[in-house]
A and B are shown apart, each in its own frame.
Chain A
Amino acid sequence: MTRRITIDPITRLEGHGKIEIFLDDKGNVANAYLQIPELRGFEKFSEGRRAEEMPRITPKICGVCPTAHHICSAKTLDDLFNVEVPPAGEKIRELIYSAFMFEDHTLHFYFLGGPDFVMGPDADPSVRNILGVIQKVGVETGKKVINIRKRTRDIITKLGGRVIHPVCGLPGGVSKGVSKEDREEFIKTAKDAIEFSKFSLKLFDDIVLGNKEYVDIIVGDIYKHKTYYMGLVDDNNKVNFYDGMIRVVNPEGKEFAKFKSRDYLDHIEEHVEEWSYVKFPYLKNVGWKGFTDGIDSGVYRVAPLARLNASDGMATPLAQEAYEKMYDVLGGKPAHNTLAYHWARLVEQMYSVERLLELAEDDEIMDKHIRNIPTEIPDEGIGVVEAPRGTLYHHYKTDERGIIQKVNLIVATVNNSAAIAMSVKKAAQGLIKNGKVSDGLLNMVEMAFRAYDPCLACASHSLPGQTPLKVTIHDCTGEIVRTIIRD
Chain B
Amino acid sequence: MAKPKVAFYWNASCGGCEEAVIDLAEDLLKVADAVDIVLWPVALDFKKKDVENLKDNEIVASFINGAVRTEEQKEMAELLRAKSQLVFAFGSCAHEGCIPGLANFTNREGIFERVYKTTESTKNPEGIFPKVKTKVPEGELTLPEFFDTVYTLDQTVEVDYYIPGCAPPPDIIMNAFTALLEGNLPEKGSVLSPNIALCDECDRNESKPEKLEIPEFNRVHQIEIDPEKCFLAQGIICMGISTRSGCGQRCINVNMPCRGCFGPLDGVKDFGLRTMAGIASIFALENEENLSEEDLSKLMDKLVDPAGLFYMYSLPSSILRRKRMEEK
Binding site for B on A (CB under 8 A): 2, 4, 8, 10-13, 16, 20, 22, 30-31, 33, 35, 37-50, 52-53, 56-57, 59-64, 66, 77, 81, 146, 150, 153, 157, 159-165, 167-168, 170-172, 175-176, 264-265, 268-277, 279, 281, 288, 373-374, 395, 401-403, 406, 408, 410, 455, 458, 460-464, 466, 468, 470, 485-487
A161 vs B249: C-alpha distance when bound (angstroms): 9
Q: Which residues of A lie under 8 Å from residue B222 when comparing CB positions?
A: 373-374
**Is B207 interfacial (CB 8 A cutoff)?**
no
Contact between chains at A45 and B255 (CB < 8 Å): no
Contact between chains at A41 and B111 (CB < 8 Å): yes
Distance from A299 Cβ to chain B, minimum over Cβ atoms (Å): 15
Given A33-B141, A37-B143, A47-B114, 12 more A-B residue pairs with CB atoms under 8 Å apart are A13-B14, A20-B139, A81-B221, A161-B250, A176-B227, A275-B131, A277-B130, A288-B123, A455-B15, A463-B22, A468-B41, A487-B44
Q: Which B residue sits closest to A147, measured CB to CB?
A: B25
**Is B57 interfacial (CB 8 A cutoff)?**
no
* 13 examples of A-B residue contacts, CB within 8 angstroms: A33-B141, A41-B106, A49-B305, A50-B309, A52-B220, A62-B15, A63-B14, A64-B15, A64-B16, A269-B122, A408-B121, A461-B18, A463-B42
Q: Scoring B residues 1 to 39 as 1 if CB is less than 8 Å from chain A, else 0, what string do you get? A: 000000000101111111110110100000000000000
* B: number of interface residues (CB 8 Å): 76
Distance from B168 Cβ to chain A, minimum over Cβ atoms (Å): 9
Given the interface pairs A50-B309, A460-B22, A463-B22, the reply to whether A10 lies near B45 with Cβ below 8 Å is yes
Contact between chains at B141 and A275 (CB < 8 Å): yes
Distance from B143 Cβ to chain A, minimum over Cβ atoms (Å): 5
Q: Scoring B residues 245 to 272 as 1 if CB is less than 8 Å from chain A, else 0, what string do you get? A: 0000011011110010000000000000
Distance from A255 Cβ to chain B, minimum over Cβ atoms (Å): 22
A48 vs B224: C-alpha distance when bound (angstroms): 25
Given the interface pairs A268-B121, A461-B41, the reply to whether A52 lies near B219 with Cβ below 8 Å is yes
A175 in complex: contacting residue of B19, B114, B128, B225, CB < 8 Å:
B225
Give the contact stretch, choosing among B96-104, B152-160, B174-182: B96-104
Q: Which residues of A lie under 8 Å from residue B46 when comparing CB positions?
A: 8, 10, 468, 470
Given the interface pairs A49-B308, A275-B141, A468-B44, the reply to whether A150 lies near B25 with Cβ below 8 Å is yes
Contact between chains at B253 and A161 (CB < 8 Å): yes
Contact between chains at B305 and A50 (CB < 8 Å): yes
Binding site for A on B (CB under 8 A): 10, 12-20, 22-23, 25, 41-46, 69-70, 72, 98-100, 102-103, 105-106, 110-111, 113-116, 119-124, 128-131, 134, 136-139, 141, 143-144, 146, 166-167, 219-225, 227, 250-251, 253-256, 259, 304-305, 308-309, 312
B15 in complex: contacting residue of A39, A43, A410, A460, CB < 8 Å:
A460
Distance from A458 Cβ to chain B, minimum over Cβ atoms (Å): 6
Interface of B is mostly: loop
Given the interface pairs A44-B115, A274-B130, A277-B143, the reply to whether A403 lies near B122 with Cβ below 8 Å is no
A156 vs B122: C-alpha distance when bound (angstroms): 34
Q: Which residues of A lie under 8 Å from residue B143 when comparing CB positions?
A: 35, 37, 275-277
Contact between chains at A464 and B129 (CB < 8 Å): no
Q: Which A residue sits closest to B92, measured CB to CB?
A: A60
Most chain A C-beta atoms within 10 Å of own C-beta, residue among B120, B129, B134: B120
A167 in complex: contacting residue of B103, B134, B254, CB < 8 Å:
B254
Contact between chains at B131 and A77 (CB < 8 Å): no
Contact between chains at B12 and A60 (CB < 8 Å): no
Distance from A93 Cβ to chain B, minimum over Cβ atoms (Å): 13
Given the interface pairs A10-B41, A37-B143, the reply to whether A165 lies near B16 with Cβ below 8 Å is yes
Q: Which residues of B lie under 8 Å from residue A163 when comparing CB positions?
A: 23
Contact between chains at B103 and A44 (CB < 8 Å): yes
A30 vs B138: C-alpha distance when bound (angstroms): 7
Contact between chains at B136 and A275 (CB < 8 Å): yes
Q: Which residues of B lie under 8 Å from residue A487 when comparing CB positions?
A: 44-45
Contact between chains at B115 and A39 (CB < 8 Å): yes
Distance from B282 Cβ to chain A, minimum over Cβ atoms (Å): 21
Contact between chains at B19 and A41 (CB < 8 Å): no
Contact between chains at A53 and B123 (CB < 8 Å): no
B256 in complex: contacting residue of A38, A167, A485, CB < 8 Å:
A167
A39 vs B110: C-alpha distance when bound (angstroms): 13
A175 vs B231: C-alpha distance when bound (angstroms): 13
Q: Which residues of A lie under 8 Å from residue B312 when comparing CB positions?
A: 53, 57
Distance from A216 Cβ to chain B, minimum over Cβ atoms (Å): 30
Contact between chains at A162 and B251 (CB < 8 Å): yes
Q: Which A residue sits closest to B261, measured CB to CB?
A: A165
A168 vs B255: C-alpha distance when bound (angstroms): 8
Distance from B70 Cβ to chain A, minimum over Cβ atoms (Å): 7
